[in-house]
Amino acid sequence: MAEGVPEGVMVFAPMPQLTVMVEKPGDEPELHLHAGGQGLWQARMISSLGVPVTFCAVLGQGEVGRVLISLIEAEGLTLKAVRRHADSGWYVHERLGEERNVLAENPGSPLGRHDGDELYALALSEGLKANFCVLSGAADPNLVPPDVYSRLGRDLHSNGTPIAADLVGDHLEAVLDANPVFIKISDEELHADGLADKDDEETIVKAGRQLVERGAGTVVISRAEKPAIALTDDSAFHVVVPELSVRDHRGAGDSMTAGVVAVLAQGGDMQQAIRTGAAAGALNVTQHGLGAGRPDAIAELVKLVRLEPLEFP
């Protein structure tokens, strides 16, 4: 790669968490430690699809933050972090068969003005070096002011770096002026924000079209077991994936975002990106482990994904 040529994806994940899982698949209990959070799961899938990832976050200087650094670097990601005195968030859960119970959790402390400015400057610097950026949310949206996303999205866009966003509420509103190339949101999130009835497909399509009209290039609305809906400025599709056995439905939307971004970052077209994202999401739910997926399996599933035209008055 020639000097100065953008490469890879920058994932803006302001506050990753340490996840501690206890499970008992056999006679003896097992303990698993992972770096978690929406941005980390997306970064993991993007990296598994062969695209270099720079991961920008705030991490605490305490025990949890130190463990997170080791785990994130072990993922093969290039970590760029702002360190702060308040420690990072965490949660502890147990898995009993297919059930998951949260035992204790602490999402972390709100992002202060100084740390927010440091994180913005770091992410801007790394984002301008990348050929695509993903803006992801925190476990608790109240921890990060929407203004951080507004400034970062606007400044990346105005300087030629395309962005994707996987955000809700005020944080999604904050990035619409940056004309994101891609937005992923769920029908549940649209419903919670009062933008659509999750049981009424027509209102879901209308809400997606409004996001396109307000600046988004393409919007994909995930709908759990139902086909996702993809909208551009002149078309709408059902995204139909092959039926697979579900082990853990969590993380499908994050894997979908990651698959889309991985293709776009390598110069692919949007329809191929949506198919790849749908395949990545479909594979993710067949296994425990968020953002996990073999690229060869995803490549085969892509062939089975269908985009079926959808029309409403």
pLDDT of residue 8: 95
pLDDT of residue 5: 46
Task: Tell whether 171 and 187 lie within a shared domain.
Answer: no
Provide the 8-state DSSP code for 180: -
Task: Tell whether 167 and 186 lie within a shared domain.
Answer: no
What does the alpha-carbon distance between residue 240 and residue 123 come to, in Å, rounded to a whole number? 35
Task: Tell whether 45 and 186 lie within a shared domain.
Answer: no
User: How would residue 260 be classed by pLDDT, with cut points 50, 70 and 90?
Assistant: very high
User: How would residue 1 be classed by pLDDT, with cut points 50, 70 and 90?
Assistant: very low
| Within a domain: 298 | yes
| Start-to-end C-alpha separation, the chain | 48
Give the number of domains in the chain: 2
pLDDT of residue 292: 58
Q: Are 183 and 211 in contact (CB under 8 A)?
A: yes
> Which of 29-43, 117-131, 186-200 is modeled with the greatest confidence?
117-131
Domain housing 105? 8-175
For residues 197-217, average pLDDT: 94
- Report helix, strand or coil for 85: coil
Which of 119, 148, 175 terminates a domain? The answer is 175
Provide the 8-state DSSP code for 138: -
For residues 187-208, average pLDDT: 93
Which of 160, 175, 190 terminates a domain? The answer is 175
| Within a domain: 229 | yes
Which residue type is seen at 61? Q
User: How distant, in Å, are the alpha carbons of 55, 120, 296 from that of 304?
Assistant: 31, 40, 14
Task: Tell whether 16 and 101 lie within a shared domain.
Answer: yes
Task: Tell whether 190 and 54 lie within a shared domain.
Answer: no
Task: Tell whether 24 and 145 lie within a shared domain.
Answer: yes
Answer yes or no: pTM beyond 0.85.
yes
pLDDT of residue 96: 77
pLDDT > 70: percent of the chain: 91
Task: Tell whether 164 and 191 lie within a shared domain.
Answer: no
Task: Tell whether 94 and 136 lie within a shared domain.
Answer: yes
Which of 131, 148, 175 terminates a domain? The answer is 175
Backbone φ and ψ for 168, nearest 5 degrees, come out as: -140, 165
pLDDT of residue 250: 62
For residues 36-45, average pLDDT: 93
**pLDDT at residue 289 greater than cutoff 90:** no
Return the HEC string of 4-71: CCCCCEEEECCCCEEEEEEECCCCCCEEEEEEECHHHHHHHHHHHCCCCEEEEEEEECCHHHHHHHHH
Q: Which residues contact 185 (CB under 8 A, 6 or more apart)?
A: 166, 167, 168, 172, 208, 211, 219, 220, 221, 222
**pLDDT at residue 246 greater than cutoff 70:** no
